Amino acid sequence: MIRTRGLTKRYGRIAAVSDLDLDVVEGDIYGFLGPNGSGKTTTVRMLLGLVLATSGSAEVLGQPMPKAASQVLPQVGSMIEGPAAYPQLSGRANLKLFDAMTPGSGLRGRKQRVGGALECVGLAGVDSRPVRAYSLGMRQRLGLANALLRSPRLLVLDEPTNGLDPQGIHDIRDLLLELNRAGTTIFVSSHLLVEIEQMCTRVGVINHGRLVLQEQLNSLRGPTGQVRVRTPDVALVLESYAAHGAEVDARSPHELLIPSTDPAGLNAELVRAGIRVEELALERPSLEQIVLAATSAGSDDHSGISFDESDHQAVGHSETLEVGR
Amino acid sequence: MIRVELIKLLRSRRTWTTIALIDALPILVAVLLAITNLGPRPGTGPAFLSAVLTDGKLYPLAALGIVLPLFLPIAVSITAGEAIAGEAQQGTLRYVLVRPVGRLRLLVAKLVSVMTFVVLAILVVAVTAYFLGIVLLGDQDLTTGATSVSGTSLTTQELAIRTALALGYAMLCMLGVAAIALFFSTVADSPLGAALATMAILIASTLLLTLDAAEALRPFLPTRYWLAFVDLFRDPILWREVVRGVLLQAAYVVVFFGAAWANFATKDVKD
């Protein structure tokens, strides 16, 4: 659905995106991750023909962009760096205008398309207030409705849950999963790892304009070969398993990491040895660990910090902003 | 896309407020003239203003002479300056372009929309002025026909045709302004910047016109032939300046619209 080869964008001497090889397959929910300023938005804009690449090529829906924009873009819904609308018009009037701009879109069915898109994002009961008076959360929903207007085959979403409260985030995630089940490929860029972790099937990580990782989320999060055991009898376990490489988790004195690929067998062994087991599970790396490892390798240290900062900001947003319904 | 732009233009309260404001000055002038009966002496003040006290049907032209040098160009600079820069600042430009709306198509639609605004503004001014002229000002020559600037008389039909030509000429002059502002709108980051740049060009042009040292530049200054529509009311019509004005404005439209397209077609939309 999306395929870039050597995609590069330079602003003067600064390379915003270098040599990017993205592959998004039909049916994916592709999470495009990266710290703020890493080139996510520039990449999204190049895919949509808003920014022209310095070199390299991009294909969307199998056709070259921006050359085939007039055939490709009507089948793509997008939200780029936050929603935007004509502030003096109502949400409904805005969608009608945007629908009318789409080439080949007639008056016939416009009302249903607009109504359907508003319903999808939970704005069906929206009144005739101008968008100027909308809360950030409502604007975000309206932006998403705008992206869904033409029942796109591909959704390109930049930070789609920005400014939403927890309920709103949940609603949007459910909506995206439902759309994906119905066959829509989704490319979502975000710096919120949790959001991506709960939704995506594949991730690409960009740092300083370069793609540092692109993989199925399942295989990334494959077992590490260790089993995490929580027990009050830490000393007993160490006695018999230290030789196997068992160690106490640095973060929690009641948890141990024991090398093993067979948690059930390990559990039976422990119980036979008279060790009380409170919890036991295969250890998997979190997406955060994976991404931090990928972005800190071979780069200076501020990438990790900027992730933390942006996460904090996002949390602050959703706590302080009310979402109107 | 043209239809969408027209809907946006006609639905906007600002469009009508601006037109009302433009229209207010000729209304005020008409009322003052009617009350005081003190016109400027012939040959001074805005064109036709001395004649309207005897013949109110000339007032649409006087009104045009009042709004054309300043009011209308300012309104056009602001409206056209907003065309691209305003959408960019608002964030809607990227959503318009990914619909997708072709960039050339968007520029054409914007120019058509600005021109619609100009036509509306000029027609509103002309129609109000016509009624004001008939009701408030002189109606001396209703039967024998109006008087031309040269002193001979014109039939009502001749007057109507020449008035229509003059209105069309004024619209073309404003199209030149619109093209300049549209170009700046593709360059500037803010709509205000685009409008100010356009006004700076018009003010510079007006200043240079008064400067003898700039004589060589005169035929190319955008405001040089704006008031040449007065010549349409001489007997016989003095075409020379009007024709030059038409050609000059056409050149400005081609050059600046071309520049706007050249700049916008490959511009990175980052707003």
Which residue in B has a C-alpha nearest to residue A143's C-alpha? B95
Mutate to test the interface with A, among B11, B17, B87, B98 (most CBs of A within 10 A): B98
What whole-number distance in Å separates Cα of residue B241 and Cα of residue B227?
Answer: 9
Which residue in B has a C-alpha nearest to residue A43's C-alpha? B270
- The pLDDT assigned to A260 comes to 86
Among the ranges given (A126-135, A285-294, B64-73, B167-176), the one the predictor scored with the smallest mean pLDDT: A285-294
Work out the percent of chain B whose per-residue pLDDT is above 90: 68
Among the ranges given (A285-294, A307-316, B93-102, B147-156), the one the predictor scored with the smallest mean pLDDT: A307-316
Which residue in A has a C-alpha nearest to residue B98's C-alpha? A73
More confident residue, B205 or A236: B205
Where is A90: in which H helix or E strand?
none
Q: Taking a C-beta distance cutoff of 8 angstroms, is the pair B139, B53 a contact?
A: no
- The pLDDT assigned to B145 comes to 52
Structure tokens at B213: 């040292």
**DSSP for A263-306, written as a single string:** HHHHHHHHHHTT---SEEEE----HHHHHHHHHHTTS-THHHHH
What whole-number distance in Å separates Cα of residue B243 and Cα of residue A227?
Answer: 90
Residues facing residue A157 across a β-bridge: A79, A188
Structure tokens at A320: 């302080």
- The pLDDT assigned to A126 comes to 78
Q: Taking a C-beta distance cutoff of 8 angstroms, is the pair A92, A128 a contact?
A: yes
- The pLDDT assigned to B42 comes to 66
Q: Is B228 helix (H, G, I), strand (E, B) or coil?
A: helix
Q: How do residues B192-207 score in pLDDT, each as one tens digit? A: 999 999 999 999 999 9
Q: Indicate yes or no: CB of B96 within 8 angstroms of CB of A86.
A: no
| Other CB atoms within 10 A of residue B150 CB | 12
Residue A34 has pLDDT above 80, yes or no: yes
ipTM exceeds 0.90, yes or no: no
**What's the rounded mean pLDDT across residues B59-74?**
91
pLDDT category, A192, cuts 50, 70, 90? confident
Contact residues of A toward B, CB < 8 A: 45, 48-52, 69-70, 73-74, 76, 78, 80-89, 97-98, 100-103, 146
Q: Taking a C-beta distance cutoff of 8 angstroms, is the pair B271, B94 a contact?
A: yes
Q: Taking a C-beta distance cutoff of 8 angstroms, is the pair A274, A235 a contact?
A: no
Chain B CB contacts of A86 under 8 Å are 8, 90, 92
* B146-147 and A185-190 strand pairing: unpaired
> Residue B174 is which amino acid?
M
Residue A86 has pLDDT above 90, yes or no: yes
- Residue-wise over A204-234: b if at least 16 C-beta within 10 A, else e? bbbbbbbbbbbeebeebbeeeebbbbbbebb
- The pLDDT assigned to A160 comes to 86
Opening angle at CA A13, ends A8 and A19, nearest 5: 20
What whole-number distance in Å separates Cα of residue B95 and Cα of residue B151?
Answer: 58
What whole-number distance in Å separates Cα of residue A56 and Cα of residue B81?
Answer: 35
What whole-number distance in Å separates Cα of residue B41 and Cα of residue B19?
Answer: 29
A242 DSSP assignment = G
Q: Indicate yes or no: CB of B99 within 8 angstroms of CB of A88.
A: no
Most confident of A169-173, B116-120, B158-162, B210-214: B116-120
Largest CA distance in chain A: 77
**What's the rounded mean pLDDT across residues B88-102?**
94
Who contacts A143 (Cβ-Cβ below 8 Å, separation ≥6)? Answer: A79, A82, A83, A84, A85
Q: Indicate yes or no: CB of A101 within 8 angstroms of CB of B98.
A: no
Residue B220 has pLDDT above 70, yes or no: yes
Q: Indicate yes or no: CB of A89 within 8 angstroms of CB of B11.
A: yes
How close are the terminal C-alpha atoms of chain A, in Å? 34
A276 exposure class (CB count in 10 Å sphere: 0-12, 13-18, 19+) = exposed
Residue A60 has pLDDT above 70, yes or no: yes
Q: Which of B1, B11, B91 is closest, CB to CB, to A101?
A: B1
Structure tokens at B238: 């003095």
Q: Taking a C-beta distance cutoff of 8 angstroms, is the pair A21, A5 a contact?
A: yes
Mutate to test the interface with B, among A80, A88, A90, A101 (most CBs of B within 10 A): A101
CA distance A134 to chain B (A): 15
pLDDT category, A283, cuts 50, 70, 90? confident
Q: How far is CA A170 from the centre of its chain?
A: 13
Please, how many CA atoms are within 13 Å of residue B206, restricted to the half-sphere of its CB? 12
Residue A135 has pLDDT above 80, yes or no: yes
| Helix B71-90 and helix B13-36, axial crossing angle in degrees, nearest 10 | 170
- Length of chain B equals 271
- The pLDDT assigned to A288 comes to 83
* A29-33 and A202-207 strand pairing: parallel
Name the phi and psi angles at B255, rounded to 5.
Answer: -65, -50
Chain A CB contacts of B269 under 8 Å are 45, 50-51
Q: Which of B7, B8, B98 is closest, CB to CB, to A50?
A: B98
Q: How do residues B127-163 score in pLDDT, each as one tens digit? A: 999 999 888 886 665 445 566 666 677 788 888 899 9
Q: Indicate yes or no: CB of B99 within 8 angstroms of CB of A84.
A: no
- The pLDDT assigned to B250 comes to 96
Q: Taking a C-beta distance cutoff of 8 angstroms, is the pair A42, A16 a contact?
A: yes
Residue B233 has pLDDT above 90, yes or no: no
Q: Which of A76, A80, A86 is closest, CB to CB, to B94?
A: A80
Which residue in B has a C-alpha nearest to residue A82's C-alpha? B91
Please, how many CA atoms are within 13 Å of residue A55, restricted to the half-sphere of its CB? 5
**What's the rounded mean pLDDT across residues A286-311?**
61
CA distance A306 to chain B (A): 22
> Residue B254 is which amino acid?
V
Tally C-beta pairs within 8 A across A and B: 70
| Other CB atoms within 10 A of residue B217 CB | 13
Mutate to test the interface with A, among B6, B95, B105 (most CBs of A within 10 A): B95
Q: Which of A78, A80, A101 is closest, CB to CB, to B4?
A: A101
Q: Taking a C-beta distance cutoff of 8 angstroms, is the pair A82, A161 a contact?
A: no
Q: Indicate yes or no: CB of B270 within 8 angstroms of CB of A45.
A: yes
- Residue-wise over A300-321: b if at least 16 C-beta within 10 A, else e? eeebbebbeebeeebeebbeeb
**What's the rounded mean pLDDT across residues B15-29?**
94
